[in-house]
Amino acid sequence: MSVILGIESSCDETGVGVVREGELLGDCLSSSMDEHKRFGGVVPEVAARAHLQAMVPTVHAALDDAGLGLADIDAVAVTAGPGLATALQVGVASAKAYALSLGVPLLGVHHLAGHVAADTLVHGPLPAESIGLIVSGGHTSLLQLQDLATDPIIHLGDTADDAAGEAFDKVARLLDLGYPGGPAIQRAAENGDPDAIAFPRPTTGRFGFSFSGLKTAVARWVKRHEGPLPVADLAASFQEAVVDVLMSKAVDACTSHGIGTLVIAGGVAANARLRKVAEQRCAEADITLRIPPPRLCTDNGAMIAAVGDLLVSAEAKWSALDMTTDPSAPLTSAAISCTH
Ligand code: KG4
Ligand code: ZN
């Protein structure tokens, strides 16, 4: 029974989680989000400095939460990419220091595999085959998944331009709703009519996405409009277009591949409308839907510990202590080692 410490620092959240055999024992999150608000987006150097400040206290808080100490850790997993270069470096350097001083294995993991693995902490091991829909601030992908720890990850489709979360953030800025845009759009949309404005549902190929045209359509609509903006209707109609495209493609991917489980993960999976529409459409198509609870959808350390736990159980190779980061790591496997 191994205790895995997971460290996440790819963007503006310093996340630390402690997992043992698929069970989340404790976690802690420290965010520098407020420091970025006045810039309307994450400033990498500000985020990296905040990680440096928060890392050790966050590790201790996560261990306290688990009722464990440093001596109980059997392996350290860390996000090696993708993400902001300087932010990733803080996490990887910290993980190396812990692994080296404790004499335990180091495991470099892919951030997006972490988003999927988060679901296993709540809903148990993934079935032999599933379709993954990853919707985060930087990525939007439809994946064919088998064993996350040992099998290659197959991309059925990706976004040709903006990611879903990026579209939420950009449209929120356009509507003056602040940062981060996803939760702000969701709040504004609560009082809006999702059918008020028929925004386009642009895509590329059968399983590919494209959100930059949708963002431009909202911008054009706002520019043409005279008088006070119907912000609630705009937010609701935009959100509906994103959710509709995501779910149409995800259900199509499941049915056309004869795969009965859909896992939705990443920050945008916290969206209440997406969760509701996903439930309805999966029920109609007889698909088992798995989505982590909202707090495990956005970036956190537990999801990285979850990948580490899967890798340790599968007796995967450890990362070398000269491992570096890979800020634009493609998602081909859960483990990434980044050695030169
Ligand atoms: O996965 P995540 O925390 O970080 C990345 O790996 O990118 O995702 C962050 C993204 C942001 O774009 C944020 O606006 C979006 O997830 N997001 C949401 C919601 N909560 C976060 N989008 C829509 N609705 C939400 N409730
Ligand atoms: Zn993320």
184-219 pLDDT, tens digit per residue, is 999 999 999 999 999 999 888 999 999 999 999 999
Note the pLDDT of residue 41.
84
Residue given tokens 């306290």 in the structure block: 64
Note the pLDDT of residue 37.
85
Note the pLDDT of residue 179.
86
Across the chain, mean pLDDT equals: 97
Distance of CA 99 from the midpoint of ligand 1 (Å): 30
Torsion of Cα atoms, 109 then 113 then 115 then 121, to 10°: -90
Question: What atom of ligand 1 comes closest to residue 165's alpha carbon?
Answer: 12
> Around 299, how many Cα atoms within 13 Å sit in the side-chain half-sphere?
27
Band the pLDDT of 340: cuts 50, 70, 90: low
Note the pLDDT of residue 1.
85
CA–CA distance, 138 with 336 (Å, rounded to integer): 18
290-313 pLDDT, tens digit per residue, is 999 999 999 999 999 999 999 999
225 Cβ contact list (under 8 Å, min separation 6): none
CA–CA distance, 214 with 197 (Å, rounded to integer): 12
Nearest bound ligand to the CA of residue 163: 1
Question: Token pair of 273, please?
Answer: 């409308």
User: In the predicted model, is pLDDT for residue 105 greater than 60?
Assistant: yes
Nearest bound ligand to the CA of residue 13: 1
CA–CA distance, 264 with 65 (Å, rounded to integer): 27
Upstream peptide bond of 294 is cis (omega within 30 degrees of 0): no
- List phi, psi (to 5°) of 299: -55, 140
CB 281 within 8 A of CB 243: no
Instruction: Name the 3-class secondary structure at 280.
Output: helix
* Amino acid making up residue 77: A
Percent of the chain past pLDDT 90, that is, above it, reads 94
CB 235 within 8 A of CB 177: yes
Of all protein residues, the one whose alpha carbon is nearest to atom 13 of ligand 1 is 182
Band the pLDDT of 40: cuts 50, 70, 90: confident
Run of H or E residues at 245: helix 231-257
* Amino acid making up residue 314: A
The radius of gyration computed from the CA coordinates of the chain, to the nearest angstrom, equals 20
CB 268 within 8 A of CB 186: no
For every residue of 47-75, DSSP letters joined together read HHHHHHHHHHHHHHHHHHHHT--GGG--E
CB 120 within 8 A of CB 147: no
What mean pLDDT is predicted for residues 84-88? 98
Distance of CA 12 from the midpoint of ligand 2 (Å): 10
Do the bridges between strand 13-20 and strand 75-81 make them parallel or antiparallel, or are there none, so unpaired?
unpaired
Do the bridges between strand 3-8 and strand 13-20 make them parallel or antiparallel, or are there none, so unpaired?
antiparallel
CB 279 within 8 A of CB 289: yes
Distance of CA 203 from the midpoint of ligand 2 (Å): 23
User: In the predicted model, is pLDDT for residue 168 greater than 70?
Assistant: yes
- Ligand 1: lining residues by beta carbon, under 6 Å: 11, 136-138, 165, 168-169, 180-183, 186, 266-268, 270-271, 298-299
Band the pLDDT of 10: cuts 50, 70, 90: very high
66-77 pLDDT, tens digit per residue, is 999 999 999 999
Note the pLDDT of residue 337.
79
Percent of the chain past pLDDT 70, that is, above it, reads 99
131 Cβ contact list (under 8 Å, min separation 6): 142, 143, 144, 145, 156, 250, 253, 254, 257, 259, 261, 262, 263
What mean pLDDT is predicted for residues 6-27? 98
147-165 pLDDT, tens digit per residue, is 999 999 999 999 999 999 9
Distance of CA 282 to the CA centre of its chain: 21
* pTM beyond cutoff 0.85: yes
Note the pLDDT of residue 339.
67
**CA 213 to each of CA 22, 110, 160, 244, 288: distance values in angstroms, whole numbers, following the listed order:** 40, 29, 11, 15, 31
Question: Token pair of 326, please?
Answer: 């890979």
250-281 pLDDT, tens digit per residue, is 999 999 999 999 999 999 999 999 999 999 99
User: In the predicted model, is pLDDT for residue 178 greater than 80?
Assistant: yes
Question: Token pair of 323, please?
Answer: 């491992």
CA–CA distance, 18 with 309 (Å, rounded to integer): 9
The percent helix, strand, coil of the chain (3-state, each to 5) is 45, 20, 35
Question: Token pair of 131, please?
Answer: 């379709």
Instruction: Name the 3-class secondary structure at 305.
Output: helix
